[in-house]
Amino acid sequence: MTRQRRTAEPYKIKAVEPIRMTSREEREEAIRKAGFNTFLLDSKDVYIDLLTDSGTSAMSDNQWAGMMLGDEAYAGSRNFHNLWDAVTNIYGFKYMVPTHQGRGAEHLISQILIRPGDYVPGNMYFTTTREHQERAGGTFVDVVIDEAHDSQNLHPFKGNVDLVKLEDLIRRVGPDRIPYVSIAVTVNMAGGQPVSMANLRAVRELCDRYVRSDGRPVRIMFDATRCVENAYFIQQREEGYSGRSLRDILREMMSYGDGCTMSGKKDCLVNIGGFLCTNEFEVYQEATQLVVVFEGMPSYGGLAGRDMEAMARGIYEMVDDDYMAFRVSQVQYLGSQLIEAGVPVVRPVGGHAVFLDARAFLDHIPQSEYPAQTLAAALYVDSGVRGMERGNVSAGRDKEGKERFPKLELVRLTIPRRVYTNNHMDVVADSVIALHAQRETLGGLKMVYEPPQLRFFTSRFEPIRREGFWEFVKG
Ligand SMILES: *Cc1c(COP(=O)(O)O)cnc(C)c1O
């Protein structure tokens, strides 16, 4: 048998940031202080931080060099033009307005296009996206394929839009009540699952068949946050794309939409930044009016010149085929170790994170006792690895105030871009596997503080029973 050849990180390390090892006692103390919410832990107490891939990327030497070329003029900074060129070149949209991060762009587009009583179909909700849609008076309607809600279904494009669900909605409420279809590439809440090119094309065709009374077909706005990871899956899995560059594939994907919101903190490889794109001049003009109120001048949108320069350079780096192949393979590397050890994870493993299926992992804990929150807290105590809850806590409450009890109850282990080596992934795998072996000792949590919106960020918990794994929690 021939031995399989391995590849390594396609970069070498020029600067290092030491991380601190902690003792079990220190971590027990830290999780109690944080109210068993990993969002409330101090970074100094975390060994391997997989809370998010948002704003946690390592920048390249080229990006750092660009930071020194920040033109901090109040208006018309040179870096704005560089960002404009990078975005219009790589994404292919006509107009761009920078924002401080993705939700800034979501806010603008929601206020511009959504009217009270409108419906916004989307391939599964995302927390900030839905919040902005609902604040503008819209109702989010989930039109993702059913497979996305099944953590074990091996569909290669689980982020696809269900065309029947979408068309039913358009027919039921009429195209005038649909300001746009919101398509996330990839779908974060389903586990980083991609959308196929064929599906994007089909959604475009469907939308083109429904013309609004203003003469426009129903719009498609991408949540392009992880669009290059999506392009990578198309390159790997979809017929006809294996020989094509990510840059090419991304351009084709975006050509089916009318604009996008972007969190630069993900695929664009920066620590802060975002933007809104549109092909419509009127929408662009309204965005420039609103951005001055909420973010800053249309030529900086809440960003420093140096931030825009770093993002412009990151945009060219994100479409590098070798970089992206390694980025996604590192996520797969962690995922396959867990799958081989029999740990229940969302499959197929997505592009930015491995999602532990907490309902299957802790099948003795009812969803009202927050199994994913429990597992995330326990993982931190076990090894100092910080993940995050994506389940009942994140889903929040509906308009009647009832908990949503989503089908997926997950712990997300998100891999920052270019930050950790595969040795770090081994440490994570060892800890999850060890915890899986002692899962019966884990009891659920109760919520003792709950903020009214986006509760997962700041809510606090306590173990219901101070025994087994939680024995250390005293009086
Ligand atoms: C992170 C994220 C956003 C919001 O972007 P921010 O930069 O955090 O404001 C929107 N959609 C998806 C899918 C995301 O992952």
Q: Are residues 417 and 460 in the same domain?
A: yes
Which member of 204, 226, 265, 266 is catalytic? Answer: 266
Q: Is the dihedral of CA 89, 94, 99, 103 positive or negative?
A: negative
CATH of the domain at 341: 3.90.1150.10
Residue-averaged pLDDT of the chain = 96
* Residue 135 lies inside a defined structural domain of this protein: yes
Known active-site residue 456: yes
**What separation in Å is there between the alpha carbon of 224 and the centre of ligand 1?**
9
Which member of 22, 56, 127, 225 is catalytic? Answer: 127
Which member of 223, 258, 307, 357 is catalytic? Answer: 223
Q: Are residues 225 and 87 in the same domain?
A: yes
- Residue among 39, 100, 107, 126 whose CB has most ligand 1 atoms within 8 A, to mutate: 126
Q: Are residues 35 and 162 in the same domain?
A: no
pLDDT band at 475 (very low <50, low <70, confident <90, very high): low
Ramachandran category for residue 468: left, alpha or beta (phi over 0 → left; psi -120 to 50 → alpha): left
* Residue 56 lies inside a defined structural domain of this protein: no
Q: Are residues 292 and 369 in the same domain?
A: no
Q: Is the pLDDT of residue 97 over 60?
A: yes
Q: Which of 289, 318, 347 is the last residue of a domain?
A: 318
Q: Which of 318, 340, 369 is the last residue of a domain?
A: 318
CATH of the domain at 119: 3.40.640.10
Task: Return the amino acid letter for 176.
Answer: D
Number of domains in the chain: 2
Cα–Cα distance, 460 to 103 (Å, whole number):
24
* Residue 146 lies inside a defined structural domain of this protein: yes
**What separation in Å is there between the alpha carbon of 7 and the centre of ligand 1?**
30
- In what helix (H) or strand (E) does residue 235 lie, and over which residues does it extend? helix 227-237
Question: Is 423 strand, coil or helix?
Answer: helix
pLDDT band at 155 (very low <50, low <70, confident <90, very high): very high
* Residue 9 lies inside a defined structural domain of this protein: no
* Residue 18 lies inside a defined structural domain of this protein: no
Read off the tokens for 86.
């990078």
pTM strictly above 0.85:
yes
Read off the tokens for 371.
């199994």
pLDDT band at 286 (very low <50, low <70, confident <90, very high): very high
pLDDT tens per residue, range 168-207: 999 999 999 999 999 999 999 888 999 999 999 999 999 9
Percent of the chain with pLDDT over 70: 100
Radius of gyration of the chain (CA): 22
| Residues of the domain holding 337 | 24-46+321-474
Q: Are residues 167 and 301 in the same domain?
A: yes
**What separation in Å is there between the alpha carbon of 125 and the centre of ligand 1?**
11
Average pLDDT over residues 464-470: 96
Read off the tokens for 458.
């700041």
Q: Are residues 120 and 204 in the same domain?
A: yes
**What separation in Å is there between the alpha carbon of 102 and the centre of ligand 1?**
5
Q: Are residues 297 and 325 in the same domain?
A: no
pLDDT tens per residue, range 232-272: 999 999 999 999 999 999 999 999 999 999 999 999 999 99
Read off the tokens for 290.
């609103």
Q: Are residues 338 and 275 in the same domain?
A: no
Cα–Cα distance, 259 to 255 (Å, whole number):
9
Other CB atoms closer than 10 Å to residue 88's CB: what's the count? 14
Ramachandran category for residue 315: left, alpha or beta (phi over 0 → left; psi -120 to 50 → alpha): alpha
Query: Which residue has the least CA distance to atom 3 on ligand 1?
Result: 102
* Residue 467 lies inside a defined structural domain of this protein: yes
Name residue 354's beta-bridge partners: 413
Q: Are residues 72 and 168 in the same domain?
A: yes
Known active-site residue 421: no
Q: Are residues 467 and 415 in the same domain?
A: yes
Query: Which residue has the least CA distance to atom 12 on ligand 1?
Result: 225
Cα–Cα distance, 114 to 436 (Å, whole number):
45
Q: Are residues 403 and 328 in the same domain?
A: yes
Task: Return the amino acid letter for 362.
Answer: L
Name residue 462's beta-bridge partners: 446
| Contact yes or no for 30/47 (Cβ under 8 A) | no
Other CB atoms closer than 10 Å to residue 453's CB: what's the count? 11
- In what helix (H) or strand (E) does residue 44 lie, and over which residues does it extend? none
**What separation in Å is there between the alpha carbon of 329 and the centre of ligand 1?**
22
* Residue 235 lies inside a defined structural domain of this protein: yes
Question: Is 355 strand, coil or helix?
Answer: strand
pLDDT tens per residue, range 102-129: 999 999 999 999 999 999 999 999 989 9
Q: Which of 260, 289, 318 is the last residue of a domain?
A: 318
Which member of 93, 119, 241, 456 is catalytic? Answer: 456
Give pLDDT, residue 170: 98
Q: Are residues 192 and 105 in the same domain?
A: yes
HSE-up (13 A, CA, CB side) for residue 9: 13
| Contact yes or no for 107/294 (Cβ under 8 A) | yes
- For 100, phi then psi, to 5°, come to -65, -30
